[in-house]
Chain A
Amino acid sequence: MHRNAKLALSVLAATSMVALAGCTAAGDNADGDSQSLKIVYQKTDSFTALDELFTKIKPEFEAANPGVTVELEPIQANDDDYSTKLALSQKSAETAPDVFYEDTFRLRSDIDAGYLLNIDDQLADWDEWGQFNEGAKAAGMGDDGSVYAVPLGTDTRGIWYSKPVFAAAGIELPWQPETWDDILTAARAIQASQPDVVPFNMYAGKGTGEGTVMQSFYELLYGTGDTLYNEDDQKWVVESQGFKDSLEFLQTLYTEKLALDPSEALDPNVWKKVFGELFPQGKLGGTVEGSYTPSFWQTGGSYEWPAYTEDMAVATFPTQNGEEPGGVSMSGGWTLAVGAKTANADLAFDFLALAVSQENALWYAINNSQIAVRTDVASEPTYLAANPFVADVTELVDVTHYRPATSDYSKISAEVQAATEAVITGQMSVDEAADAYDTAVEGIVGADKVTTK
């Protein structure tokens, strides 16, 4: 008996080394120090605009509210890790933020989780809310019709291409492809004329995460007439021809070596190479990227490149065979929200409101290359003149789409990313990858939540 007990104990002690550590600690007692506000947001080596904004308004806010301390807590991580860390901090009132930076596509799922405070009452008393456009008001809305977050800006996505590379390939400028084939034709012309240039890259694989779907796959899929999610039936679409055609397009790009080598494409940091090396050095013909692209190249950006205003141009991503409306874009954007566990809802909202005031929203839109969501910012001459592409990318709003922001979305997105990775690395054929996706989606949401149209 004694020996068995010792045996059991040593087995237990030894094996708990491999156990996943416990990760939730519930605690609902309110924050002791009620006069401090904790602001949690993302900061990376290429995204410092929000940090600068908060650092700028902190003294202003503290001066206007004596006795209040604003604690800025930037999380230095990529988008995925940021949302994980944020979600873990939401588990306890001790660590939960008062105001935080939240991606629109995670919003509904986090509202379901009870992390965001309903700010309808605060908005009713805020005279500036009327300045936000209707799309922006809807972006922060939950399924119940209440508003939980205020958008900082939005974005669109299009083709960014290098004029010198296109000119050297004998392509007429300005270039605007009408069909997918036009893209391939241009890319092949670049390949033939400039062997050391990557003709046309589109992200693929799990490495680039949401970038793979937002700046590549959805531009393809939403231009085929098929979609990812049927909003009317609230079901996920499987077995669509558009899904296969989109995978096939990526497969063509990668097998013909029109895009980067798969080993480079799967590196999570490949986008830094695109912005920091390939475009400035004239080693890349074109890619699909966001309206925030100039923020990397403008003065003070991570990869300053003054010539971008001359060398780069924007084109609308075409539909598969030129179907109406003739183009595709995707939009996302980030918001500010008040934490549901805050002890000072009104004070937290005041801070949020200051951060998105006309003056601050204008500064942020210019410095982070955002598409303005306040009408009194959108009409500012300094905003329109911030870079030569503001008009181009703002036009894309007409053909834009949004992600289906349900709670299952991030898992489904991961399956799309896996399908693109399997295809470009040659691990699966297009049909196999599409089948694997269908099976995975059904496994995630259940057979009654999928549809074939």
Chain B
Amino acid sequence: MLPLAPAVVLLAIFLLGPVIWSFYGSFTDAALTGSSAQDPQWVGLDNYLTLFKDPVFPLSLWLTFVFVVASAIVGQNFLGLGIALLINRASKVVSAVVGTAVVAAWVLPEIVAAFVAYAYFSEDGTLNQVLAAAGMTGPNWLYSFPMLSIILANAWRGTAFSMMVYRAALNDVPVEVTEAAMIDGADGIKRLTWITIPMIKNSIATNLMLITLQTLSVFTLIWVMTAGGPGNESTTLPIMAFQEAFKFGDIGYGTAIATVMLLIGAAFSLVYIRALRPEKV
């Protein structure tokens, strides 16, 4: 236990500390300006009551859900798995080229990736120039399809992570088992569903947990691309929390939103962690 102590202390300071502060702050009217900046008052559940009455909140919750499911659970996860499976069969050169291209999006700092995505989807951006070359007039993607744009951008940026997790996992699937199935006459799809996926089940759960939590907290990408707009059409919970806390200076309210996000993240983690438990024989 003793060797763990430094890690626990660091966790407590850098992870537990802010969580507790955020939780405490959500019960106060702490603010950036005005009299409550000087002397925050305990306001009980006021921030939460306001939040549940706020018409933007249900929308924001729904958009966050759509964003996580579409860009992480469907986009990153399936794309990552698909690319990993294909790379396993491809020639060394192809797999090196594809692997590098995918990882390139992931190694970019988030702000750079966000600007790249903005430059791609914006009205005079790469996508519309390509469409124009093909004789088509593209819409202003960030304005007309804000959710689609940020979902595609996040899938593009995050797929590399899932791909790497799955490549590592697939390397651990014993060749003998797959070959045995092949000899028994199982085709590709059957081998995938009955052999490969069950054997990498733990990696899938771990990957899902990590990308869900990462995507829940995506901020920079959305802020740079759409800033939550137009209207509130791409205001996910992190954007809403930031706007309330820093644009309107209402720290208490912002931390209440952050606390709700924390609970959602905790709920997802519990589900995945349960899935990870070794099956009882």
A113 engages B37 (CB within 8 Å): yes
Tell me the complex Cα distance, A30–B209, Å: 46
Q: Interface digits, A1-35 against B, CB 8 Å rule (1 contact, 0 not)?
A: 00000010111111111111111100000000000
Tell me the complex Cα distance, A436–B55, Å: 10
B213 engages A15 (CB within 8 Å): yes
Query: Does A109 count as interface, using CB distance less than 8 angstroms?
Result: yes
A106-B33 CB under 8 A given contacts A22-B22, A443-B50: yes
Tell me the complex Cα distance, A453–B18, Å: 45
A20-B265 CB under 8 A given contacts A87-B249, A421-B231: no
A16 engages B262 (CB within 8 Å): yes
CB distance from A263 to the nearest CB of B (A): 4
Question: Contacting B34 at CB < 8 Å: which of A13, A22, A83, A112?
Answer: A112
Among the stretches A52-60, A177-185, A302-310, A406-414, the one at the interface with B is A406-414
For window 227-281 of B, CB contacts with A under 8 Å fall at 227, 229-231, 238, 241, 245-251, 254-255, 257-258, 261-262, 264-266, 269-270, 273
A112 engages B35 (CB within 8 Å): yes
The count of residues in chain B whose C-beta lies closer than 8 Å to any C-beta of chain A is: 54
Query: Does A394 count as interface, using CB distance less than 8 angstroms?
Result: no
Query: Does B217 count as interface, using CB distance less than 8 angstroms?
Result: yes
Question: Contacting B216 at CB < 8 Å: which of A18, A106, A113, A206?
Answer: A18
B15 engages A13 (CB within 8 Å): yes
A18 engages B261 (CB within 8 Å): yes
For window 400-451 of A, CB contacts with B under 8 Å fall at 407, 410-411, 414, 418, 421-422, 425, 427, 436, 443
Query: Does B114 count as interface, using CB distance less than 8 angstroms?
Result: no
For window 193-241 of B, CB contacts with A under 8 Å fall at 209, 213-214, 216-217, 227, 229-231, 238, 241
Tell me the complex Cα distance, A110–B35, Å: 8
Q: Interface digits, A355-378 against B, CB 8 Å rule (1 contact, 0 not)?
A: 000000000000000000000000
Query: Does A84 count as interface, using CB distance less than 8 angstroms?
Result: yes
List the B side residues contacting A262 at CB < 8 Å.
143, 230
B245 engages A114 (CB within 8 Å): no
CB distance from A277 to the nearest CB of B (A): 13
Tell me the complex Cα distance, A14–B274, Å: 14
B33 engages A407 (CB within 8 Å): yes
Question: Contacting B265 at CB < 8 Å: which of A14, A112, A206, A407?
Answer: A14
CB distance from B171 to the nearest CB of A (A): 25
Secondary structure at chain A's binding surface: helix, strand, loop or mixed?
Answer: helix
CB distance from A8 to the nearest CB of B (A): 10
Tell me the complex Cα distance, A168–B75, Å: 54
A84 engages B246 (CB within 8 Å): yes
Tell me the complex Cα distance, A422–B55, Å: 14
B33 engages A109 (CB within 8 Å): yes
Q: Interface digits, A245-287 against B, CB 8 Å rule (1 contact, 0 not)?
A: 0000000000000000011001010000000000000000000
List the A side residues contacting B34 at CB < 8 Å.
109, 112-113, 407
Query: Does B113 count as interface, using CB distance less than 8 angstroms?
Result: no
A23-B262 CB under 8 A given contacts A87-B32, A113-B37, A263-B123: no
Tell me the complex Cα distance, A87–B53, Å: 28
Tell me the complex Cα distance, A83–B249, Å: 10
CB distance from B18 to the nearest CB of A (A): 4
A15 engages B230 (CB within 8 Å): no
B262 engages A18 (CB within 8 Å): yes
Closest to A112 in B: B35
Binding site for A on B (CB under 8 A): 11, 15-19, 21-22, 30-35, 37-38, 50, 53-55, 123, 140, 143-144, 209, 213-214, 216-217, 227, 229-231, 238, 241, 245-251, 254-255, 257-258, 261-262, 264-266, 269-270, 273
Q: Which 5 A-B pairs have the closest CB atoms?
A: A407-B34, A20-B258, A113-B37, A16-B15, A263-B143
Binding site for B on A (CB under 8 A): 7, 9-24, 80, 83-84, 87-88, 106, 109-110, 112-115, 205-207, 262-263, 266, 268, 407, 410-411, 414, 418, 421-422, 425, 427, 436, 443
Other CB < 8 Å A-B pairs besides A14-B209, A263-B140, A411-B248, 10 of them?
A: A11-B266, A12-B15, A12-B16, A14-B269, A17-B214, A19-B22, A87-B33, A87-B249, A109-B33, A410-B249
